Structure 1
């Protein structure tokens, strides 16, 4: 079968190659991949800056944002052939920490976790994939290929879960949310904020085009000016920083309402210095009782919440988030960065094209 194969740590070794078809263990599902999303983590692996091959070899099957259809399922698994599913990315440490033991393996404390398509486990970028039922999540059949958005949505579902927990212990509910960045994570964060009934504001550099239109379709106000200007008219109780740009991170933390919560979701480039008055920023965070935390990855609970959020969303709006689809044979084109891109998807099968035609 065909698979997207990379050599972690060695840029330029990626290829679309033939690998042996998987042998499904008796308790596993066998899933035919329909589509694979591409994100910055995949590009870092291809650049040789990230990623680990499975023990005993130097190559890794890429891909962690997936949607596929079950072709084989064991009796009593809760799944059946024909089900549309996505695979959870992270797996608990074989010698689990306390978080891993209680199912919160996204919070693994000892670093021995593994991740499909990233760390020591082959990913979902193959025509056929074995998948343990406990790490599979059904998605609404009506979503079709849009189910490929489940993994990035799980990231923001986890962030909102953490925010909800913190705000629940506070003295007042959140009313206003600020999202920095209108990429896939930012737009999906806005979607979940709007579904919570918040007054959502999205800030991005693009002044026109698909991103402003999508933000408004999702129920958010869109802004392309300075963050400080937005915060003067709408002091945010909640901030989700989705760009990773250091200057944006600092600016966002400076405009919080009293006793606000800020979640950092973006990964920042290293080696870039800013002239920041850390003392003044620290004093503001302390004296205003702010909570600032980082979040990454998700567990089964967050994938299930993501699937529910997508099922409740406007499919036309979700469809516009996928701005480019390429066939498997041209998969490297999905790695190109274009100004108009939001989410780029690699289609694996003829059925994927049929589903996409049905959505249109």
Structure 2
């Protein structure tokens, strides 16, 4: 079978031939339909993130997948059933985090991640997976099933942000998304529909005309150009917000978020920055936390329940949004196009089999 793999740091994914996998007991064989491409894939390609499986010289990419069950192999799944795979797996049998159904809370060394850290991904014509990590999705949603994984990331992030404010009566009205990539735009839509916030903002570094800014406008949100209004000044230029969602991986944003928050607000951090030393006024930021009941929460990955919620969220997204968000779906003969970046690119995917 054909697969898309990379030697981390080589800078370019390649098409390779691999044997079709055979499912072990408790696993199903899945025929891959589509796999999304995101910033993490580009970080792995560049060698800035991720790790090879033991004994491998290349990593099969892809962690945002949708497929159809080819062989249930005695599991409770059915042949022809459409599924979305979760990403984390236990490295050696199992551990307490997986037994509790909380793989997203496992620390380093207690998990591998398909297509990212220590395990091959889903950018292949077929893959196998234990049935408990395959989440059924309605056939009508299968063409967009590769959006379930990124939506699940935000499902968890929002859940944890809200939970951090659950000790008191908290009724958020406004939110700021840092980053106008596909994850930020999906989260912006979720803030509009799931939390029913009155006012939302999205920060980026692009000039009009731009497809991502068009989506922000259509969602009724306010676009903030960080070159004109940095995060630390948003509370003065616009307003202090109740929730900040950081998806840039820009280290200063974690600290600038504190200034952007309203009293009792919460910032949730998802970006993974490179090491970077810089000066901050730690005393002043400490005061902001204490005197205004602010909070910062880190969030990474998601579990099956978040995937299930993400499927419900995906079904509720307007058609115009997903049409504008997905700017390219490419077959294997032109897979390189799915990894191209540019101002006209928002979200891409590789198609392994027609839907």
TM-score by length of 2: 0.90
Cα distance in 1 for partners of 2:216, 2:176 equals 12
* Gapped regions of structure 2 (runs ≥ 5): none
**In 2 relative to 1, CA 305–91 (structure 1 residues): closer, same or farther, beyond 3 Å?**
same
1:133-168 CA distance string (max 9 Å, x none): 210112232223211111111111110110121122
Q: Which structure 2 residues correspond to residues 137-152 of structure 1 after superposition, within 5 A?
A: 137-152=135-150
* Gapped regions of structure 1 (runs ≥ 5): 353-360
DSSP 3-state at the match of 1:202: strand
Contact 1:100–1:107 (CA<8 Å) still a contact in 2? no
Q: Which structure 2 residues correspond to residues 157-172 of structure 1 after superposition, within 5 A?
A: 157-172=155-170
Quote how far apart the aligned CAs of 1:81 are: 2.5
Contact 1:89–1:115 (CA<8 Å) still a contact in 2? yes
Equivalent position to 1:257, from 244, 258, 262: 262
Is 1:237 the counterpart of 2:238 in the alignment? Answer: no
**Equivalent pairs, count:** 348
Is 1:20 the counterpart of 2:19 in the alignment? Answer: yes
Cα distance in 2 for partners of 1:181, 1:332 equals 24
DSSP 3-state at the match of 1:37: strand
**In 2 relative to 1, CA 247–221 (structure 1 residues): closer, same or farther, beyond 3 Å?**
same
Equivalent position to 1:81, from 79, 82, 90: 79
Contact 1:191–1:218 (CA<8 Å) still a contact in 2? yes
Which shows bigger deviation, 93-102 or 313-322? 93-102
TM-score by length of 1: 0.89
Cα distance in 1 for partners of 2:232, 2:40 equals 30
DSSP 3-state at the match of 1:344: strand
Quote how far apart the aligned CAs of 1:266 are: 1.6
Cα distance in 2 for partners of 1:86, 1:60 equals 20
Contact 1:264–1:292 (CA<8 Å) still a contact in 2? yes
Is 1:184 the counterpart of 2:206 in the alignment? Answer: no
DSSP 3-state at the match of 2:245: strand
Partner residue, 1:118 = 116
Which shows bigger deviation, 208-217 or 90-99? 90-99
Quote how far apart the aligned CAs of 1:282 are: 2.3
Which shows bigger deviation, 233-242 or 247-256? 247-256
Quote how far apart the aligned CAs of 1:66 are: 1.0
Partner residue, 1:129 = 127
Quote how far apart the aligned CAs of 1:97 are: 5.2
Partner residue, 1:333 = 337
1:17-43 CA distance string (max 9 Å, x none): 111011123432221111111122222
DSSP 3-state at the match of 1:118: coil
Is 1:306 the counterpart of 2:310 in the alignment? Answer: yes
